[in-house]
C-alpha cells in the first residue's frame, strides 16, 4: 500500500524543489495546482458548474478565462468559496484514483493550499517547506518579475507558514542555510520508521545521521 505525503508551503518556500528532489528517489508526485488547471478545462462537470455559477463568458476558445474569473471574485469574494467547492472535490477524487495506480512505497501530493482546501485529510503525512518571509519575497520577485506590493498581496492571501507548521507532521527548511538533500533523506527514513511495512528507501541510514 502506498503511503501518501502532502507537501505544502508559502509562495517562494521552495516546495516544488523539495518535490522534485523526492522524485529523484523514485517518489511520484501529484501537483494539485497543475491537475486543477487541467480538470477545469477538460472535465465536463466542472465546466458545467462553473458556467452555471459565473456565466458562459467564463470559458473562451482557449479554455477557462482566468482573468474574468479573478475579476468576478474580486468584486464578490464569496464566489471563491463556491468555485473551490466545485473544483476541490474533483481534484481530491482524481488524487485518490491516482494513488491507487501507484506502486511506489510513497507518493506525494503537492499543494500550496493543502490545509485550506482540506487536501491535508487525504494524506498520511503533512509536510511544510519553510523559508523566512523576507527570503520568500526576494525569491518570488526575482522569479516572477513582480513588485514587492504584488508579492506581498499574494502572501497575505495565504495562511502563514507558522500556521502551516503547527498543522504539519514534519518541517523541511529551505532557508539557504540548511542543505536540502540530507533533510529529505532524514525525512524519508523517519517515515519508514513510523510507517510499518513500508520499505526503507535509504537502508543503513539513521534519522540522526
113-124 confidence digits (pLDDT tens): 999 999 999 999
> pLDDT band for position 156 (50/70/90)?
confident
More confidently predicted of 161 and 157? 161
Residue 11: pLDDT over 80: yes
Measure the CA–CA gap between 140 and 112, rounded to whole angstroms: 14
Cell numbers 474569473: residue: 69
Which residues lie below 8 Å from residue 130, measured CB to CB, with a gap of 6+? Answer: 9, 13, 161, 165, 171, 172, 173, 174, 175
Residue 201: pLDDT over 60: no
Alpha carbon distances (Å) from 158 to 16, 116, 170, 195: 17, 9, 19, 31
Work out the angle at residue 19's Cα, subtended by the Cα atoms of residues 117 and 84, and round it to the nearest 5 degrees.
15
Residue 207: pLDDT over 70: no
> pLDDT band for position 193 (50/70/90)?
confident
Task: Find, among 180, 45, 30, the residue nearest to 109 by Cα.
Answer: 30
Asked if residue 167 lies in contact with residue 161, where contact means CB atoms within 8 angstroms, the answer is: no
In this prediction, residues 153-182 reach a mean pLDDT of 90
Task: Find, among 23, 21, 13, the residue nearest to 176 by Cα.
Answer: 13
pLDDT of residue 46: 97
Q: In the numeric block, which cell numbers belong to residue 147?
A: 513588485
Residue 198: pLDDT over 60: no
- pLDDT, the chain, mean: 89
> pTM here?
0.86
Q: How many CA atoms lie within 13 A of 193 on its CB side?
A: 11
pLDDT of residue 195: 62
Measure the CA–CA gap between 20 and 205, rounded to whole angstroms: 21
Which residues lie below 8 Å from residue 33, measured CB to CB, with a gap of 6+? Answer: 110, 111, 112
Q: Strands 3-8 and 29-31: what pairing? A: unpaired
Residue 34: pLDDT over 90: yes
Residue 209: pLDDT over 70: no
- Tens digits of per-residue pLDDT, 168-192? 999 999 998 999 999 999 998 888 7
Task: Find, among 32, 18, 56, the residue nearest to 109 by Cα.
Answer: 32
Amino acid at each position: 500500500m502506498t503511503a501518501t505525503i502532502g507537501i505544502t508551503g508559502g509562495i517562494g518556500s521552495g516546495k516544488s524543489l523539495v518535490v522534485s528532489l523526492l522524485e529523484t528517489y523514485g517518489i511520484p508526485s501529484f501537483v494539485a495546482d497543475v491537475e486543477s488547471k487541467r480538470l477545469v478545462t477538460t472535465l465536463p462537470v466542472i465546466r458545467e458548474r462553473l458556467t452555471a455559477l459565473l456565466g458562459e463568458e467564463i470559458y473562451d476558445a482557449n479554455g477557462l478565462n482566468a482573468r474574468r474569473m479573478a475579476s468576478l471574485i474580486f468584486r464578490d469574494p464569496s464566489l471563491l468559496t463556491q468555485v473551490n467547492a466545485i473544483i476541490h472535490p474533483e481534484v481530491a477524487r482524481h488524487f485518490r484514483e491516482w494513488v491507487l495506480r501507484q506502486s511506489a512505497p510513497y507518493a506525494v501530493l503537492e499543494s500550496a493550499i493543502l490545509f485550506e482546501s482540506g487536501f491535508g485529510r487525504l494524506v498520511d503525512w503533512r509536510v511544510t517547506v519553510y523559508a523566512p518571509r523576507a527570503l520568500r519575497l526576494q525569491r518570488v520577485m526575482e522569479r516572477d518579475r513582480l513588485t514587492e506590493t504584488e508579492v506581498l498581496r499574494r502572501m497575505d492571501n495565504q495562511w502563514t507558514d507558522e500556521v502551516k507548521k503547527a498543522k504539519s507532521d514534519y518541517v523541511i527548511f529551505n532557508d539557504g542555510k540548511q542543505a536540502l538533500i540530507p533533510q529529505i533523506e532524514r525525512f524519508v527514513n523517519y517515515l519508514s520508521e513510523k510507517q510499518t511495512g513500508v520499505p526503507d528507501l535509504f537502508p543503513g541510514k539513521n534519522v540522526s545521521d
